[in-house]
Structure 1
Amino acid sequence: MKTILKNYSSIILLLIGITIGSLIGLFLPNVVEYIKPIGDIFLNLLFVAVIPLLFFAISSAIANIESNGKLGKILGVMTSVFVVTIAIAAVLTIVGLWAFPVTAIKDASAISETISTNPEDSWGDKIVRFVSVGEFVNLLSRQNILAFVIFSFLIGISVRKSGEVGKPFLNFLLAGNEVMQNLLTIIMKLGPIGLGAYFAYQVQTLGPELFGFYAKPLAFYYIFGTVFFFVIYSLYSFIGNGKSGIKNYWRFNITPSLTAVSTCSSLATLPANLLAAKKMGIPNYIASVVIPLGNTLYKNGSSISSILKIYVAFAILDWNFFEPTTLITAVGITLLVSMVAGGIPNGGFIGEMLMISIYGIPNEAVPAIMIIGALVDPLATILNATGDTVAAMLVTKFSGEKFFSNETELETSTEM
């Protein structure tokens, strides 16, 4: 029990902060104007940290990848599996939200602002603005994060091509990535206070209707996520290795699942996943590549929550989420968030920043979707962590490699 409380302490503290903020918003509305600046300061700290965090995380990850021979083939198949299945999770979530819509808040005027984009812009103008800027200094603005992400990717590729000469710069990127992750961890310790203050403002502004609004998206995530866990992962394991794939996946996935829910950490589940992959018959040279990289890059739970958070933001603002260009952009943001931000502590925040940049979402909607992200974290961790082994099964299948089929060998590895 102590271990569970320790690992979920951040969520518990966040819930306490939100509860206190809600009570202040309901019963002490005159106090809200004094504590709202605390929430503003918290958000500003996050806004300032996100640019260097993105740069070091993306550039160091790309620059540090080494591929040759069979490893190169495995990495290619792995990338395809990650992209396709994450997109499937996003599309299925969109379908689920279309079939079971969350009711929007009726009065969103309190947090609505004018969108910064020009409705008369052509598609070409929008693409140019989203993916590039005319001056280097403009890359450092959070309004141009997508262009900054592309630039960071290109820096990582350039470091790889620089070989030994680029090693000092690579070490700089790796060190910077570690420093910025620790900085974000420190900032997020202020989350219970910062989000609590902002929640007090939202409760005072929107009233008790806010609570009913949150209940529905949370219920959707846990119901949809549970169905996805059992049905889709069973389908993937069947594609990977037939009926024996389903049997072995659910037989040996129990320990990783329990580890994920008790620790609320994909990283802590990594050792259990590697052992489970061996018992499932996945070749070690595939598991040792796909599962560690998947721990950072492959996040089905984050994919589902990313779509849900975008939907929630649009619902709060009374915008049309199901407009085709919005949906296509949402899937693109989801791919980026799931595969780039997955290894960053509180990396889902990158998704909020991309939403603000691309959709022109007001800052005031950010705390709401951050709260959604925190509350769905237990199930999201299970989906993120245990999806790595099923992804390894798919990579084994599509790379033409063979599963271990010797039952004696499999039973022996089970006893280890």
Structure 2
Amino acid sequence: MKRIFKNLTFQVLTAVVIGILLGIIFPDAAKAMKPLGDIFINMVKMIIAPLIFFTIVLGIAGMGDMKKVGRVGGKALLYFEIVTTIALALGLIIANVVKPGSGVTLDPTQGQEQVAEYTKQGAEMGFFDFIIHIVPSNVVDAFAKGEILQVVFFAVLFGFALASLGKTGKPVLDLFDRIAKVFYKIVNMIMRVAPIGAFGAIAFTIGNYGLASLLPLGKLMLCVYATMFIFVFVILNIICKIFGFSLWKYLKHIKDELLIVLGTSSSESVLPRMMTKMEAFGCSKSVTSLVIPTGYSFNLDGTSVYLSMAVVFLAQVSGVDLSLTQEITILAVLMLTSKGAATVTGGGFIVLASTLSAMHVIPMAGLALLLGVDRFMSEARAIINMIGNGIATIVVAKSEKEFGVENNESVEQDEKSPAALRV
């Protein structure tokens, strides 16, 4: 019994349930819990940028072979583009078949101030702006603001430079290895308060928005959740079978991370742990250190499903009958704009705004409809993004023959060990 209470899965699940109940019964008190979730997310964000930097540098410099680095990066980006395109297409197809926007009334006065702000930011976020954004003008500023993509770019350059020094760079590599271990120790300390963070975040969400706010857009939510379920257990499961590993065993291995993301609505909250978990699952450190951080900007499967369905939903609500050509155009635009969804706050809405402004077909006012339920769908987006990034890492590791079968087979035994039951 004592082991169960010390288990992170049990603690987070209990915290989420208590948070939901508090939000339903005492909504005002639940709203006051918001700082608990914010503090936990800030604690995680505090160490993400430096941890990603050291991990990527160690991975690249440890490889030694620069051709291999380019090959791994190329495979990862190709995989990301193929799978996110499938996710976008799946969302478009199901939204057209089910028609979640039929029967929903558009209130032109609802949330227009927020819509105007998102529209302004969306108009400013073009494809070339995204490309320019990748390269930091100030490295210190990139670390200070937690710009993951900019940190990844600088870390790759630093890793290449360090590797080219050979034996001269060995002392720096050893120092970075020791510093990285310190950061992973900090991660373990932060995860001890994960249940409190999950409780605060979910309690605020339910208390602030209320379950009643889900009813008018319940059909859209059901469609999004069902489509994401199909994406994971059909599309990703097929990928798992092709590359010879079990989806269920993988999901079981990251069950703690799934629950933390469910409570916090942020896949960033488990980024450091996911890198550790993927190494424990059998992926090499060098592949994991490149694929996971890059995937957080380029492999947003859950966000892709949501964006394509949201655009079609808004067209249906606005009475716009999209032609096949227009829907293919939507797919093409989203393939570009969705890559910037993780680089800015409120990325999902801003990407939607930039997509609608690029098309000039669907009225921007429809965005207001999504404001109330977006928070309830963000959990699903974050969970699918995280699951997809882990699978991408395994696929690339297997293609590089850097997946330890012996590690994979010992996962279940490791999870049952006393050490695994501790937070």
Q: TM-score if structure 2 supplies the norm length? A: 0.59
Q: Give the distance between the partners of 1:303 and 1:374, measured in 2 at CA.
A: 16
- What is aligned with 2:82? 84
Report the equivalent of 2:5: none
Q: Cα deviations across residues 88-119 of structure 1 (Å, max 9, x unaligned)? A: 011111121233222424776968xxxxxxxx
In structure 2, what is the equivalent of residue 219 of structure 1? 222
Q: CA deviation at 1:395?
A: 1.6
Deviations 1:53-87 (A, max 9, x none): xxxxxxxx9xxx98843222211111111111011
Alpha-carbon displacement from aligned partner over 1:259-299 (angstroms, at most 9, x marks no partner): 22133220112233223312321112111221122234322
Query: How far apart in 2 are the matches of 1:107 and 1:247?
Result: 40
Closer/same/farther in 2, CA of residues 152 and 307 from structure 1, 3 Å limit: closer
Cα distance change on mapping 1:156 and 1:271 into 2, 3 Å = closer
Q: For 2:99, what is the secondary structure of its paired residue?
A: coil
What are the Cα deviations for residues 193-247 of structure 1, in whole angstroms up to 9, with x where unaligned? Answer: xx99xxxxxxxxxxx9x9765121111112222232222222222223x1x3435
Separation in 1 of the partners of 2:381 and 2:357? 25
Give the whole-Å Cα distance in 1 for the aligned partners of 2:259 and 2:107. Answer: 43
> Aligned pair in 2 of structure 1 residues 69, 370: CA closer, same or farther (>3 Å)?
farther
Partner amino acid for 1:314?
A: A
What residue identity is the alignment partner of 1:150?
F
Conservation of the 8 A alpha-carbon contact between 1:90 and 1:303 = yes
Q: Secondary structure at the match of 1:406?
A: helix
Runs of 4+ aligned structure 1 residues displaced above 6 Å come to: 5-9
Counterpart of 1:349 in structure 2 is 349
Alignment CA distance shift 1:301-1:155 (3 Å): closer
Determine if contact 1:8/1:263 at 8 Å carries over to the other structure: no
SS at match of 1:342: coil
Q: Distance in 2 between matches of 1:254 and 1:278?
A: 16
Residues 214 and 372 of structure 1 are in contact (CA less than 8 Å); yes or no, is this contact kept in structure 2? yes
Residue 116 of structure 2 corresponds to none
Correspondence list, 1:299-310, <5 A: 299-310=300-311
Confirm or deny that 1:71 pairs with 2:69. Answer: yes
Deviations 1:2-59 (A, max 9, x none): 95489989xx79xx79xxxxxxxxxxxxxxxxxxxxxxxxxxxxxxxxxxxxxxxxxx
Query: What is the aligned counterpart of 1:150 among 110, 120, 128?
Result: 128
Pairing of 1:53-64 with structure 2 (within 5 A): none
Higher relative contact order, chain-length normalized (CA < 8 Å, sep 6+): 2
Query: Where does 1:253-292 land on structure 2 (aligned, <5 Å)?
Result: 253-292=254-293
Q: In structure 1, what is the Cα distance between the partners aligned to 2:276 and 2:144?
A: 30
Q: Unaligned 5+ residue runs, structure 1?
A: 18-60, 112-139, 160-165, 179-190, 197-207
SS in 2 for 1:320: coil
The total of aligned residue pairs comes to: 302
Kindly indicate whether residue 82 of structure 2 is the aligned counterpart of residue 104 of structure 1: no
Distance 1:337 1:6 in 2: 37
- Residues 1:283 and 1:349: Cα distance change in structure 2 (over 3 Å): same
* 1:105–1:213 Cα contact (<8 Å) kept: no
- Counterparts of 2:122 and 2:225, CA distance in 1: 32
Aligned partners of 2:309, 2:108: CA distance in 1, in Å?
22
Aligned to 1:232: 235
What is aligned with 2:151? none
Where 2:256 maps in the other structure, the secondary structure is helix
Query: CA 1:263/1:95 → structure 2, altered by over 3 Å: closer, same or farther?
Result: same
TM-score by length of 1: 0.60
CA shift for structure 1 position 311: 1.5
Q: What residue number does 2:164 align with?
A: none
Aligned partners of 1:273 and 1:389 also within 8 Å: yes
Structure 1 residue aligned with 2:384: 383
Deviation at 1:318, TM superposition (A): 0.5
Q: How far does residue 255 in structure 1 lie from its aligned partner after superposition? A: 2.5
Give, in whole Å, the separation in 2 of the partners of 1:8 and 1:71: 45
Do the aligned partners of 1:105 and 1:318 also contact (CA within 8 Å) in 2?
Answer: no
Specify the code of the residue in structure 1 equivalent to 2:353: M
Deviation at 1:369, TM superposition (A): 2.6
Separation of aligned partners in 1, 2:229 and 2:222: 11
Distance 1:262 1:233 in 2: 23
Aligned-residue Cα RMSD (Å) equals 4.1
